[in-house]
Amino acid sequence: MSSSDTPQAAKRKPPLSTPVLNPVPDTRLRDLRRMRFLATALLGLMFVIFIATSFAPVQWPWLAYLQAFAEAGMIGACADWFAVVAMFRHPLGLPIPHTAIVPHNKGRIGGALGRFVSNNFLSPLVLEAKLREIDTAGWIARWLSEPENTRRIARRAATALPEMLQALPRDQLGGFLTRAIRHGIEAVPAAPLASELLSLFWAQGETQALVEKAISIAATALVDNRDVIKATVAKKSSRFIPKWVDGIVADKIMSGVSQLLDEMRNPGHPWRLELGAAIERLIKDLAENPEMIGRGEELKAEMLGNPMVAEQVGKLWIRIETRIGAGSTSYIDPLSDGLERGLSALGGWMAQDEKIKTAINQWVAIALLRLVAPRRAEIGNFIAQVVERWDSETLVNRLELQVGRDLQYIRINGTLVGGLVGLIIFSAKRFLL
């Protein structure tokens, strides 16, 4: 519990500088006061009835029963008021023995509360059963599905990036990033990765689109360079062949190439089919052929061994560091937008992939179980120490806010039940005597 749980603090509003998102009003103090007023008002009603019936005419015999009910109700109300108040403080400020039970037993209450929580809520069996019910991945996915959430976290991360970088040792961070990039590249097999990427592009039609684009570019270049082609044909031709013959030959060549390009626009063209078969063979060989896999690793090793690679990575980090650390804010919007799109995509992926959701939930459950269960005794001791550090008034106010409203029902029930019992006893006495 926090200090805001006390009746005094519950009156205060949060400071204007404190961001409050979807605040839930704390009605406990209001409910406690209302129930306390009702219980006291019922006692007052019993007192008024008792006084009224005491001075009423004697010829109304039924008033004696009402008076007995009111008298017994006052006794029950006072007795239960004393019991309820004695839990938290001395009734009427009088140091009566066995009153103010909570303040006098603060240490014992803290220890008992700590043991209760650690033994009944933090045991491995209870934690494991509860953690299985928690859909952590689903909660994260739903949270990330809200554009306002992803926008806010992406913006904060992009804005805080310069301070984070300035707080870190630059030389060590640059070296760490260089090593991390190198180790990351070394850990990924080059040929299978190329196979996956090529397969993805091929399946999504990106390669076919590139072929279409290449055909369009070639056709356009053929038309734009018509004179250059004719000049080249004439230059390569024999000097004994007339120029008009060279022009006819060049026109025939360009017409044939143009017709071929137009035919290749059809996806069913034999050359297009042959190209598709070759790409599919390449995808398979990159993923399965040991020679291709070995050659991919050799090329990757040659690339990583080239000093230019490390130099370019270092230069890239210097440019990023210089741009971010120069006080410029131009990078914030692009970086924030990129992070926002990435977080939204992550949320959608987690929401749709059941395997990922299950894996994340299992990982979180295992991590929390291993983190919390072995330290449940420490958590119990911490709870006990926190309670012991509270002053008596704080402890009383917090407990009273939690259970005081329900305890007022004891006063109300004591008034009514006491009145009924008194009425029964009075009626039995009249009947027997």
Structural domain range at position 164: 147-352
Q: Which of 202-211, 282-291, 386-395 has the lowest mean pLDDT?
A: 202-211
The residue type of 182 is R
SS3 category, 96: coil
| Residue 381, CA distances (Å) to 157, 326, 393 in order | 36, 49, 22
Cα distance between residue 50 and residue 315, in whole Å: 94
| Residue 369, CA distances (Å) to 101, 128, 275, 331 in order | 37, 7, 55, 41
Task: Assess if residue 101 is contained within a domain.
Answer: no
The secondary structure of residue 267, as a DSSP letter, is: T
329 pLDDT exceeds 80? no
Task: Assess if residue 30 is contained within a domain.
Answer: no
Mean pLDDT of the chain: 76
Identify the top-confidence range among 131-135, 192-196, 352-356, 411-415.
411-415
332-352 vs 354-372: helix crossing angle, rounded to 10: 100
Provide the domain count of the chain: 1
12 pLDDT exceeds 60? no
How far is C-alpha 410 from the geometric centre of its chain's CA atoms? 42
Task: Assess if residue 210 is contained within a domain.
Answer: yes
> What pLDDT was estimated at residue 331?
62
173 pLDDT exceeds 80? no
**Structure confidence at residue 75 as a pLDDT band (50, 70, 90):** very high
Cα distance between residue 98 and residue 89, in whole Å: 10
> What pLDDT was estimated at residue 32?
86
Q: Which of 43-57, 196-210, 268-282, 370-384 has the lowest mean pLDDT?
A: 196-210
Q: Going by C-beta distance under 8 Å and a sequence separation of 6 or more, which residues neighbour residue 335?
A: 158, 161
**Structure confidence at residue 186 as a pLDDT band (50, 70, 90):** low
More confident of the two residues 66 and 251: 66
- Arithmetic mean of pLDDT, 136-154: 86
> What pLDDT was estimated at residue 324?
57
Task: Assess if residue 196 is contained within a domain.
Answer: yes
**Structure confidence at residue 221 as a pLDDT band (50, 70, 90):** confident
* DSSP3 helix / strand / coil % (the chain, rounded to 5): 85, 0, 15
For residue 190, how many other CB atoms are within 10 A of its CB? Answer: 20
155 pLDDT exceeds 70? yes
Task: Assess if residue 408 is contained within a domain.
Answer: no
Q: Which of 101-110, 170-179, 270-279, 301-310 has the lowest mean pLDDT?
A: 170-179
427 pLDDT exceeds 50? yes
Q: Which of 36-45, 59-68, 144-153, 160-169 has the lowest mean pLDDT?
A: 160-169
> What pLDDT was estimated at residue 10?
43
- Arithmetic mean of pLDDT, 360-371: 84
> What pLDDT was estimated at residue 17?
39
> What pLDDT was estimated at residue 417?
92
Q: Which of 158-172, 219-233, 295-309 has the lowest mean pLDDT?
A: 158-172
**Structure confidence at residue 16 as a pLDDT band (50, 70, 90):** very low
161 pLDDT exceeds 60? yes
**Structure confidence at residue 20 as a pLDDT band (50, 70, 90):** very low
> What pLDDT was estimated at residue 8?
43
**Structure confidence at residue 3 as a pLDDT band (50, 70, 90):** very low
Task: Assess if residue 202 is contained within a domain.
Answer: yes
Task: Assess if residue 209 is contained within a domain.
Answer: yes
What's the whole-model pTM score? 0.42
| Residue 230, CA distances (Å) to 98, 218, 251 in order | 116, 17, 8
Q: Going by C-beta distance under 8 Å and a sequence separation of 6 or more, which residues neighbour residue 23?
A: 14
- Arithmetic mean of pLDDT, 35-61: 86
> What pLDDT was estimated at residue 73?
92
> What pLDDT was estimated at residue 38?
93
In the numeric block, the tokens 């005597």 are attached to: 433
Task: Assess if residue 78 is contained within a domain.
Answer: no
The HSE-up count of residue 118 (CA atoms within 13 Å, CB side) is 18
**Structure confidence at residue 4 as a pLDDT band (50, 70, 90):** very low
The secondary structure of residue 331, as a DSSP letter, is: T
Q: Counting beta carbons within 10 angstroms of the beta carbon of residue 209, is it exposed (0 to 12), middle (13 to 18) or buried (19 or more)?
A: exposed
